[in-house]
């Protein structure tokens, strides 16, 4: 970074590469990610990428970190504006659905895809993904505990009860899309599925409405 605060050239291309790599990885998979394709899509040389990351694995880890930063910025941070308790839990649900609806990532949920891809492939990547998922589950569990402590959520489903349910909803949102896509367009199908999920989530036997 220069003294006046503007991004220097290297930092600009670095974030551009991470943005592009995140999109490509969400579609082709984190392992199917091709350095050549990333470089070509940005109009830079492939060897230039190795000036920023010394290996493909290093770039993959950076992509995961980038995805988490985006997740925090677009889902967690806006939701934390809601008051504590059940309303904050619902805010997380809403910001997440809004993020999917915005289709920032054409391949759906990066983390869900990555987890299924590396589920049976031990190594640095899977370890890192496991940390991300653990943190996310802990975050949801904490919110749920908050809601229980405030008397806004019936206890007894812990540990991981509400969080688990919430997690599965988003996961399946991606899961179901191709099926419905045979009848309507792919984009509209995903939206319809999300509406269905929202309706399912409002079932008071699963998650009570905020009062």
Partner DNA sequence: TATGTTTACGAACGGTCGGTCTTATTGTAC
Partner DNA sequence: GTACAATAAGACCGACCGTTCGTAAACATA
Structural contact between residues 87 and 96, judged by C-beta atoms closer than 8 angstroms: no
Residue 17, phi then psi, degrees to nearest 5: -65, -45
- 14 and 21 in contact (C-beta within 8 Å)? no
The reply on whether position 167 binds a copy of itself by CB under 8 A is yes
Q: Does 56 bind a copy of itself (CB under 8 A)?
A: no
**Nearest-CA neighbor of 165 among 65, 92, 82?**
92
The gap from C-alpha 93 to its chain's centroid, in whole angstroms, comes to: 12
33 binds, among a copy of itself, DNA, none (CB under 5 to 8 A by kind): DNA
Could you say which of a copy of itself, DNA, none residue 174 binds, taking C-beta under 5 to 8 angstroms by partner kind? a copy of itself
**Could you tell me if 86 and 51 are in contact, meaning their C-beta atoms sit under 8 angstroms apart?**
no
Distance of closest approach, residue 26 Cβ to a copy of itself, in angstroms = 7
List the x/- string, 54-93, binding to DNA by CB under 7 A: xxxx------------------------------------
Cα separation of 115 and 129, whole Å? 7
Residue 32 vs 83, nearer CB to a copy of itself: 32
Residue 27 interacts with a copy of itself (CB under 8 A): yes or no: yes
What are the φ and ψ backbone dihedral angles of 105, each rounded to 5 degrees?
-105, 115
Please report, as ranges, the residues that interact with a copy of itself according to CB under 8 A. Answer: 26-29, 31-32, 106-108, 112-113, 115-121, 126-127, 129-130, 133-134, 137, 160-161, 164, 167-169, 171-172, 174-179, 181-182, 196, 200, 205-206
């Amino acid at each position: 970074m220069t003294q006046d605060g503007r991004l220097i050239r290297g930092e600009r291309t670095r974030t551009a590469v991470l943005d592009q790599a995140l999109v490509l990885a969400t579609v082709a998979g984190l392992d199917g990610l091709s350095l050549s394709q990333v470089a070509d899509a940005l109009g830079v040389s492939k060897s230039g990428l190795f000036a920023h990351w010394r290996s493909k694995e290093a770039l993959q880890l950076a992509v995961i970190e980038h995805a988490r930063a985006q997740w925090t910025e677009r889902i967690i941070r806006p939701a934390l504006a809601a008051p504590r308790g059940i309303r904050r839990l619902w805010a997380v649900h809403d910001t997440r659905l809004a993020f999917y609806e915005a289709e920032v990532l054409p391949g759906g949920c990066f983390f869900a895809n990555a987890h299924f891809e590396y589920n049976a492939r031990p190594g640095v990547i899977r370890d890192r993904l496991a940390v991300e998922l653990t943190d996310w589950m802990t975050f949801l569990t904490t919110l749920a505990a908050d809601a229980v402590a405030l008397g806004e959520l019936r206890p007894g489903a812990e540990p991981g009860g509400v969080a688990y349910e919430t997690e599965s909803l988003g996961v399946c949102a991606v899961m179901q899309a191709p099926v419905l896509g045979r009848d309507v367009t792919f984009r509209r199908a995903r939206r319809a599925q999300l509406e269905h999920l929202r309706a399912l989530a409002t079932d008071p036997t699963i998650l009570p409405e905020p009062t």
